[in-house]
Structure 1
Amino acid sequence: MPLDPQREPARTGGGQPPGLLPDRVEQLRARLRGRLVRPDDADYEEHCRVYNAMIHKRPALIARCADVADVLAAVAFAREQGLLLAVRGGGHNGGGLGTCDGGLVADLSPMRGVRVDPASGTVRVAGGSVWGEVDHATHAFGLAVPSGIISTTGVGGLTLGGGIGHLTRRFGLTIDSLLAVDMVLADGRFVTANAEQHPDLFWAVRGGGGNFGVVTSFLFQAHPVDTILGGPTLWPLERAAEVMKWYREFIPAAPETLNGFFAFLTVPPAPPFPPHLHLQKMCAVVWCYTGDPEQADALFAPVRAMAPALDGVQAMPFPMLQSAFDALYPPGHQWYWRADFVRELSDEAIGRHVTFAQRLPTMQSTMHLYPIDGAARRVAPGGTAFSFRDARWSEVIVGVDPSPARAADITTWTKEYWEALHPYSAGGAYVNFMMEEGQERVQATYRDNYARLVEVKERYDPSNLFRVNQNIRPGEGAALRH
């Protein structure tokens, strides 16, 4: 059954789509080593859940893939039956793009595994793994792969979007440490993409998201990272404008061994935060220093000269910093995200930031500014699909709360905050921070790289089987070239 690349099949909830015959479903079940979950199974609702509880979608089938053969079977079934196909790794995608209504979810979460080669410093990671598993395996050898800031995040989604986190200034984006991927393509081929094999595909998956196939394993180059100096420094919200103006000058001039992302937050009422700060709205910088410990005091002297209300910087194993926010952001909360790339923090923009920080609607709602410079900037904007190498920060605004009753509040705050700051942005956004925001935003995110991404899409997925994502649409190439 041919697919219209610009149109999704009708969404029918969790029932069986029209024309999907029970014997075909049974044939798929028999082909899988893993389990096929259907709407009448007792644990169906459990397997429908994704990290963002604001997303409620009911696929017709969930293939819990145990290996590459299962992925091949799931992709072939979706293609042959004309089913909408979603691919789920860690399930953290803000817009819920690891699931769908009425289609097939290829759930890679059973495909876990990390193998470190200490001689070469390379790391082979199965497609369903999460970053905490990578951190655990690599730390035993004094190594780390650049990733994000929450260890329960899936390796696949974060990597394919680019990968911004604590090690960005020192070692670049996650994709800058990616050496190769193994993939199942829309036509059923299983290929390895790297600098020599399918180099166009390898270029595209480094920032182009899940548009080109299902990545079943990643090969990374790890870097020497062991004990680091990390943690937050906090200031009262009344000093936020002063701190942001200091931060905008300090971090770009700091050595690449020092990373620090800025945040607005409400202090959690739990250790390690002292009781007198609990539930106060504050601003913070969360630091990660991977350089010479003997130089740390001199490096942090300007930070301490800003007289933070809390100086939480201390020596710790790198995985400790990577997992520091896990308990604050468990699966199952309501999330609404908006994001932009930012080249400069003007005084006017800082004033608007402070206005919305004073209105943080819930304890877990926040705004982060992640630096994109240092090693990340040494790759040209066209060197990978990730385009905004010339941005200074990736800004993300998130409304978060456990209760569905607060969903409207956190969504309204996030949208209004974003609308107030968007005029000061560079345009586009980090795809891993985007909701379903329309094709114009996708093109703004990839800029000049979009036309090349369309060409790769037309070569490897001309029917747009992989479209539950920030979609690169086949068929747009001619219009973009003229």
Structure 2
Amino acid sequence: MTEGIALDLAAAQADPDGFAALAERAGGTVVLHESDDGGLDPWTTAVWLAGRTEGVRIGLPGPVLSASSEMREKAYESLEILAGPRLAAQIQRREGIDYDSIPASLADVAIAPGDPRYRGRKSTYMRGGSPGLVLRPRTAAEVADALAFAGRHRHLPFGVRSGGHGISGRSTNDGGLVIDVGAMNDVQVIDEPKRLIRVGPGATWKQVNAVLDKYDWAISSGDYGGVGVGGLATAGGIGLLSREHGLTIDNVRAVELVLADGTPVRASGDENHDLFWAVRGAGANFGVATAFEFEASPVGEVGWAQLTLVSPDLEQSLKQYGEVARTAPRDTTVFFLTGPPRQGQSVVQLYGLVDSGDADTIVERLTPFAETGLLAQQQVVVTRYADVMAQAADVGPGGHHGRGEPIARSGFLPVLTDAFARDAVELLDSGEVFFFQLRHMGGAIADTASDATAFAHRTPEFSVTALGQSQQGLDRAWDRLSHHFDGLYLSFETDLRPERLNDAFPPATLARLRTLKRRYDATNLFRDNFNIDPEVQK
């Protein structure tokens, strides 16, 4: 470690000019120490301080680290605080982006590094990012302008974002472009007798169901109200009402999109039917959705349950859960969540919904699930579906602040067998997984034919998801379970190798998708999320 007078970077953040004067008065060597709570980047501060002082030798503790994306972002944030946003913005501009040609329609809402709004738009819920430019269109015409700009920058990563909650999606990146449709978030009832609503892709399900609650309606929408409509309504949507009312995509009646060439189209059962088929399950490959029409379902009061169990025998608890879930009525959906065992015991979180406001019915439905382990804590309430969705925190203008890369694997489980329960316990014992979830499927999900939408996996009992710290380590452990699965859910998968497409889509489905990709996006503009490459012939 370099010897000298130690100065805490917290002082530089609070008063840059005073900090420079203090270093000048100290003379000799000053050593910059990071604050315990993070704060300024010492390397950036050292360069700035060298330019602000004379005769001061500057030392830094610890070894020089490589400039990772996260370190670079911290350096830029530090520079903005020290030198001001104007200079920082110019320095932070990324190579390969023609900032001077940003469409006039988007100039006031374009966000580049150095913009005060950038910190709230660069990352997603789980993934840290540092895109070179975020475009925030408010209309379909502005989406077309944004796509034209993206078309002139094909050498860069390119993502599309609605709510920013995707685990698998590349809705942020490093140095590339992002089209963020978060401002397109209107929710309107357009035909009350038919329960039809029109929703912008940037709305959250919390917002949607707050509107629907006034009519005693709801739309099946995952399990978290902060998720954006656009991602869920083009990928699948396995949620708390799915066994009663189908997947989210099963409630879509029409989609308005802007294609790669800027053409606005409407897809429904009567218009562009092939595109309507494709966007319900593989939508990230075909265009930017600008509006959806949904048919809502009558939903009144529901039973919302959060149960905490302790299991000394997780294998047995898994098997019991599988049996109970298999025979549960359609009005009941319960998800299973656990992590690595501790001192020979596993903590299991069961959370779910009974589509009934009758207390006796709710208790009857939930009791078999509660008996799959030792019940340690419970919260069961009669409430509104909108209130369940409303538990999601509002993101606000500060945006998401995810860091690093989420690492997840996914699989559809046709049947929860004894062998799967045993292998799942071994997976958790491996130390490669910190989050292990089974989403209860079946019921109304299977009412739709497997070839009716691009989402073809209609008959599994469960969707299984695992999160880990290392992609290589998780892949190695997950591969030992792969023979149990038939397909996967792309929204919960971060392994971007092309063979994952063969897991996500059966051969006939994938062949049809490739044909449509060649028709609607032959130049493969939409390529940065589980890409269906039009050049691949099989």
> Above 0.5 in TM-score?
yes
Shift of 1:461: 0.5
Aligned equivalents of 1:231, 1:331: Cα separation in 2: 29
User: CA offsets, 1:263-287, max 9 Å, x none?
Assistant: 11599xxxxxxxxx9xx84123222
Q: 121-130 vs 231-240, which deviates more?
A: 231-240
Asked whether the equivalents of residues 206 and 225 of structure 2 are also in contact (C-alpha less than 8 Å), the reply is yes
Q: Which amino acid aligns with 1:283?
A: V
255 and 214 in structure 1: CA distance in 2 versus 1, 3 angstrom threshold:
same
- Residue 89 of structure 1 aligns with which residue? 162
**Matched residue SS, 1:241:** helix
**Matched residue SS, 1:308:** strand
Q: Which amino acid aligns with 2:131?
A: P
**Structure 1 residue 158 and structure 2 residue 228: aligned?**
no
Aligned pair partner of 2:259 in 179, 185, 189: 185
- Residue 388 of structure 2 aligns with which residue? 321
Q: Which amino acid aligns with 2:511?
A: A
Aligned equivalents of 2:212, 2:310: Cα separation in 1: 37
Q: Which amino acid aligns with 1:296?
A: I
- Percent sequence identity over matched residues? 31
Aligned equivalents of 2:100, 2:371: Cα separation in 1: 71
Shift of 1:192: 0.8
73 and 83 in structure 1: CA distance in 2 versus 1, 3 angstrom threshold:
farther
Shift of 1:144: 0.7
336 and 324 in structure 1: CA distance in 2 versus 1, 3 angstrom threshold:
farther
**Matched residue SS, 1:259:** strand
**Structure 1 residue 24 and structure 2 residue 94: aligned?**
no
Aligned pair partner of 2:148 in 76, 95, 103: 76
User: CA offsets, 1:7-52, max 9 Å, x none?
Assistant: xxxx9x974444x545423xx1x22275111234344343211111
Asked whether the equivalents of residues 59 and 105 of structure 1 are also in contact (C-alpha less than 8 Å), the reply is yes
Aligned equivalents of 2:98, 2:199: Cα separation in 1: 36
Shift of 1:370: 1.1
Q: 313-322 vs 160-169, which deviates more?
A: 313-322
Asked whether the equivalents of residues 337 and 435 of structure 2 are also in contact (C-alpha less than 8 Å), the reply is yes
- Residue 464 of structure 1 aligns with which residue? 524
Shift of 1:360: 6.8
User: CA offsets, 1:116-173, max 9 Å, x none?
Assistant: 3433212211111111111211112111111111111111111111110101110111
- Residue 356 of structure 2 aligns with which residue? 291
110 and 347 in structure 1: CA distance in 2 versus 1, 3 angstrom threshold:
same
Shift of 1:346: 2.1
- Residue 332 of structure 1 aligns with which residue? 402
TM-score (norm 1): 0.83
Shift of 1:463: 0.3
- Residue 312 of structure 1 aligns with which residue? 379
Where do 5+ consecutive residues of structure 1 fail to align? 1-10, 268-276, 400-406
Aligned equivalents of 1:127, 1:418: Cα separation in 2: 33
User: CA offsets, 1:426-472, max 9 Å, x none?
Assistant: 2x310110114211111221113000011111111100011111111
**Structure 1 residue 425 and structure 2 residue 491: aligned?**
no
Structure with larger RCO (C-alpha < 8 A, sep 6+):
1
195 and 254 in structure 1: CA distance in 2 versus 1, 3 angstrom threshold:
same
Q: Which amino acid aligns with 2:518?
A: E
**Structure 1 residue 38 and structure 2 residue 80: aligned?**
no
- Residue 347 of structure 1 aligns with which residue? 418
Q: 412-421 vs 198-207, which deviates more?
A: 412-421
Q: Give the aligned length.
A: 436
- Residue 17 of structure 2 aligns with which residue? none
TM-score (norm 2): 0.75
Q: Which amino acid aligns with 1:373?
A: G
- Residue 133 of structure 2 aligns with which residue? 61
Asked whether the equivalents of residues 146 and 167 of structure 1 are also in contact (C-alpha less than 8 Å), the reply is yes
**Matched residue SS, 2:531:** coil
**Matched residue SS, 2:110:** strand
**Matched residue SS, 2:491:** helix
Aligned equivalents of 2:225, 2:473: Cα separation in 1: 27
312 and 360 in structure 1: CA distance in 2 versus 1, 3 angstrom threshold:
farther
Asked whether the equivalents of residues 50 and 332 of structure 1 are also in contact (C-alpha less than 8 Å), the reply is yes
